[in-house]
Amino acid sequence: MLSQSFFLVAQYLSILFSTLDSTAPITQATPNQATSVSTNELSPDLPSKVDFEGFLKLSEETYQYRKDRLVDLDLFLEMAKDSNTIILDTRSDKMYAMKHVKGAVHLNFADFNVFDLMRVIPSQDTRILIYCNNNINDDELFFPSKMARPVTPSRKPISLALNIPTFINLYGYGYRNIYELSSLVSVMDRRVQFEGAATVPNVNSFQVPLLSKGSKK
């Protein structure tokens, strides 16, 4: 009886293993495949949030509004003295840290969103003065001009000043008390002061006067 039971078990195992083909490839979904399937199921093919036509309409509206918001350097500096006014620098973090108009606050243009704008400019009544590289002359190291070379020699270079998208975006986010510097100002103009790491005197450039012959060391 016991030997018969062993025979049945052995026969069953023989049948079971015979159904398994050890040479057959084992298919297993890779992590990328699994992720792809789940992503496709969870994220259908929707259009992006980019609205070029809407931006063009906003730009046209801002173009008309901006015409009366261009101020020369003297008025720009006079406005900056008001307590409800800020100078906004939207250049890169690196360039702002190296050199900027004294007293300017910073928000990288790439970081423009509702929350960061509210953090830097909590009140939309605040008067905002803006400037960019194309306002500053004689310092291509820290204020390189934003200018695109023409495709053909017959066309003029195109100014790609950061002031333009800055103004449009501020307007689009609901800020209206915006003024833009219209002057081209030399860094050597004594009316403007700059601050930042690049404006700190270089102690290594300090030179000790040479001792004259016969003087004691």
Q: Which CATH superfamily is domain 69-196 in?
A: Rhodanese-like domain (3.40.250.10)
Per-residue pLDDT tens over the stretch 170-199: 999 999 999 999 999 999 999 999 999 999
So where are the chain's domains? 69-196
Least confident of 38-47, 131-140, 144-153, 203-212: 203-212
User: 172: closest CA among 66, 47, 22, 25?
Assistant: 66
| 65-81 pLDDT, tens digit each | 999 999 999 999 999 99
Answer with the residue of higher pLDDT: 22 or 112. Answer: 112
As a whole number of angstroms, the distance between CA 210 and CA 208 comes to: 6
Q: What counts of helices (H) and strands (E) characterise the chain?
A: 7, 11
**Does 3 score more than 80 pLDDT?**
no
Q: Looking at the predicted structure, is the pLDDT value of residue 211 above 60?
A: no
- Looking at per-residue pLDDT, the higher value among 133 and 30 belongs to 133
pLDDT at 210: 38
How many whole angstroms separate alpha carbon 195 and alpha carbon 207?
24
- For residues 2 and 149, give the distance between their C-alpha atoms in angstroms, rounded to a whole number: 95
Mean pLDDT of the region 31-60: 79
Are 138 and 188 a contacting pair, CB within 8 Å?
yes
